[in-house]
Amino acid sequence: MSLLSPALRDLLQTWLTHLKSIAGASENTLEAYRHDVTGFLSFLAVHHGAAAGLEPLRKITPSDMRAWMAQERRRGVSARSLARQVSAVKSFYRWFAERDGFEATAVLATRSPKFQNKLPRPLAKDAARAMIDTVGMQSRADWIAARDTAVVTLMYGCGLRISEALSLTTSQTPLPETLRIVGKGGKERVVPVIPAARNAVAEYMRLLPYPLDPQGLIFRGARGGPLSPRMISKVMEQARLQLGLPATATPHAMRHSFATHLLEAGGDLRAIQELLGHASLSTTQAYTAVDTARLMEIYNRAHPRGDA
C-alpha cells in the first residue's frame, strides 16, 4: 500500500466498504479484491511516476492496461490469475466511473486472457462411500473419528461447502429434515438432510467431550476450539492415499460428487442448481461434469417440445 497516495487508499477502502455493505461480499472476496486492485493501482503509480491524486486513474488508456497486463505475465502470473485480476479491476472501475461520472471504456473494454476452464473431478460413487468410511479410521479418538465422518457425510450427502458444514451451530441441532444454508455472497438456500448425515452428526455430538454453547459452532478441533478446514483436508489426504485415489479427492470434490451423482440418477439440473446455490445454470453444468449429449437428454425429457 506504500506506493498509493492517501486519496487512492481512501478510494479503494470506500469501494471495498461498498462491496461489503451493498453486495454482501465475503471477507475472502474482499481480501482478494483488495490484493488485486492494490497491485494494479501500485503499477499505475510507478508507471505514471508516482503521480498523486485520482486524475491519472480517470485518464487511463488502453496502453496503460496493456503495459500492466504485460508486466503481470512477465512476473509469471498465469492466464487464469490475470483474468481474475482484470475482473477485479473492471469491477472497481465500473463503480469508480459511475461515482465520479467519467468514461472508463479503456478498462471495461479490455479483453481478459483466455484460459481453459478446469472441470471438477468428482469421485465415483463407491469411492465417495469409501472416503466417508476411511476418514473415520484416521484417528484413535472416537469423537474425532465421528467428527470427521460427520463433516464429510454433510459435504457429500447435502452438497455443502466445507465452510458451510463447519459453520453449523448448536442451535441447528438435532439436524432437521431440511437446513437453511447461507452460502457465498449471503445467498440462502434450503437443502434436504439425508438420514445418514443426521445420524452422523448426532453420533459425533454424543461423543464430543466438550460442552456446547447454545449458539456456538458444532464442530470442534482437538483442543476444543473451532475446527479448521485444513484438518478435514488433511484427514481426507490420508484417506485418499490409503484408498489409492487421485490428488483431486479433496473436500470440495465431495460437493462435486453430490451434484454429479444426483444428475446421473436422473435429477433435474435446475433443482441441483438450487441445492448447490449456484446463480448460473452454466456453473452447475460445469460442476456436474456432464457431457453435452447427457445434457440434451435431460433437457428433452424435462422440457419436451409441444410439436413432438
Which member of 90, 184, 189, 261 is catalytic?
184
Is the CB of residue 151 less than 8 Å from the CB of residue 256?
no
Question: For residue 4, what is its C-alpha cell?
Answer: 498509493
Count of beta carbons in the 10 Å neighbourhood of residue 10: 12
Burial label for 26, CB within 10 Å (0-12, 13-18, 19+), is middle
Q: Is 161 a catalytic residue?
A: yes
Is the CB of residue 60 less than 8 Å from the CB of residue 51?
no
Q: Is 184 a catalytic residue?
A: yes
Q: Is 278 a catalytic residue?
A: yes
Which member of 80, 125, 252, 261 is catalytic?
252
Count of beta carbons in the 10 Å neighbourhood of residue 206: 10
Q: Is 255 a catalytic residue?
A: yes
Q: Report which DSSP code applies to 171.
A: G
Which member of 255, 270, 301, 305 is catalytic?
255
Which member of 93, 156, 161, 256 is catalytic?
161
SS3 content of the chain, % helix, strand, coil (to 5): 60, 5, 35
Which member of 125, 287, 294, 305 is catalytic?
287
Give the chain's largest Cα–Cα span.
Answer: 67
Q: What are phi and psi of 189, to 5 degrees?
A: -150, 160
Q: List the catalytic residues.
A: 161, 184, 252, 255, 278, 287
